[in-house]
Amino acid sequence: MTEHTSSAMPVVRLIPKAEARAIRHGFPWVFANELVTDRRTSNLTPGTIAQLEDAARTPMGVVTVNPASKIICRMLDQDPAAVIDQAWFVAKLQRALAHRARLYDAPFYRLVHAEADGLPGVIIDRFGDLAVIQPNAAWADLLIAPLVAALQEVTGVTTVIMNGTGRARTLEGLEEKTEVLVGTAPDAPVQVPMNGAIYMADVMGGQKTGLFFDQRPNHAFAASLSKDARVLDMFSHVGGFGLAALAADAASVLAVDGSAPALELAEQGAAAMGVSDRFITRKGDAFDVLTALADEGETFDVVVCDPPAFAPSKPTLEAGLRAYERIARLAAPLVADGGYLILCSCSHAADLTKFRNASARGIGRGGRRGQIIQTGFAGPDHPLLPHLAESGYLKALTFRL
């Protein structure tokens, strides 16, 4: 399957009570309980391109349909006559690239941020002449060939890797797989320059696409506090906050993570920067290490905690908020007086207010008081669709204690 013409498209229809107005105004999803799901619709192959009509049979646009997902339709184009082919992908990617090229002088960024860039469920991170695609929706799996061809045409990348892993694919009923679609896989980690630091991205075996571009502005803000500082980078992954701090002349950085391969990449980054003498790593469970550091009487000028999503969905919200509170409670006593505590959350389900309250509670229970001096979000290469709160997942709170 390479393209679709409107004349050949199946038609799906909203039920009378569905919120057609929201979709007309830009909401990108139709939930399973809002669509007429007769036998014909239920039998559509996941990822089928179809025309969406409202209950009065007025065409609303071109959607992708997945009867196996709670999000049964995702809006691709509000023009009911749109043809989803390579030229369509080229137009979307050109628009996405124009924005990133204005922001960054080097081609290292998130090129496509799913719905917000008009490609529902599709993530594309760019690492120079290599790109990693996460097709987290069934339609992108089906149309991967024209998508990749358009990506090469627009950006000139010579290597394209598909990282088909993660919770989103499971929810779409898709199998997990990682493969090289174009070119050859690099035989070493890819060097990524960012905020004056050098990061090592494992684009074949690392978390997500191999690096988290979303924290770039928060790394930079933390680094601005870090000159001559002793910095603790908890959940450091490949050294996100720690290496940026060293690039800004931090006195020392202790990077803690549960993953030995991630810490090894962080050490390689420090070596490439020539700052290994100020960089120490410690492998271990974050809660255990925070407790041990307190027992050892350690304090730091800047402490950063950037954990994985403790509350990825509504059912995990309460347990997740308790985990964020516990992190804050254990981390606060490690901050020197007048020092800074940076707490991050990438949980969709925990909104800013809930996360801020949990963090403040934890700091109080840790015997400290603090003022919030900065609230950070994902960088501008991670645009937010105003109709879709889920696209604004990342929060970073900087407290001065």
Edge-first strand listing for the sheet containing 122-127 = 108-113, 122-127, 130-135, 159-164, 177-182
* 291 phi and psi angles, rounded to 5 deg: -65, -45
The per-residue pLDDT for 390 is 63
The per-residue pLDDT for 391 is 58
Q: Round to whole Å and give the CA distance between 339 and 73.
A: 48
Going from the N-terminus, what domains does the chain have, and what CATH number goes with each?
Answer: 6-77 (2.30.130.10), 86-182 (3.30.750.80), 207-400 (3.40.50.150)
Question: In sequence order, what are the residues at sequence separation of 6 or more whose Cβ sits closer than 8 angstroms to the Cβ of residue 326?
Answer: 287, 362
How much is the pTM? 0.92
Tokens 């000139």 correspond to 156
Q: Round to whole Å and give the CA distance between 150 and 133.
A: 13
How many H helices and E strands in the chain?
Answer: 12, 19
Provide the residue-wise pLDDT of the chain in tens; the chain has 401 residues: 445 544 579 999 999 988 888 899 999 999 999 999 999 999 999 999 999 999 999 999 999 999 999 999 999 999 999 999 999 999 999 999 999 999 999 999 999 999 999 999 999 999 999 999 999 999 999 999 999 999 999 999 999 999 988 888 888 888 888 999 999 999 999 999 999 999 999 998 877 788 899 999 999 999 999 999 999 999 999 999 999 999 999 999 999 999 999 999 999 999 999 999 999 999 999 999 999 999 999 999 999 999 998 988 889 999 999 999 999 999 999 999 999 999 999 988 889 999 999 999 999 999 999 999 999 999 999 999 888 876 578 999 999 99
DSSP calls for 190-213: EEEEETTEEEEE-TTTSSTTSS-G
Catalytic (active-site) positions: 346
The per-residue pLDDT for 323 is 95
The per-residue pLDDT for 164 is 85
Question: In sequence order, what are the residues at sequence separation of 6 or more whose Cβ sits closer than 8 angstroms to the Cβ of residue 280?
Answer: 252, 253, 254, 255
Smallest CA-to-CA distance from 131 within 104, 99, 163 is with 163
The per-residue pLDDT for 118 is 96
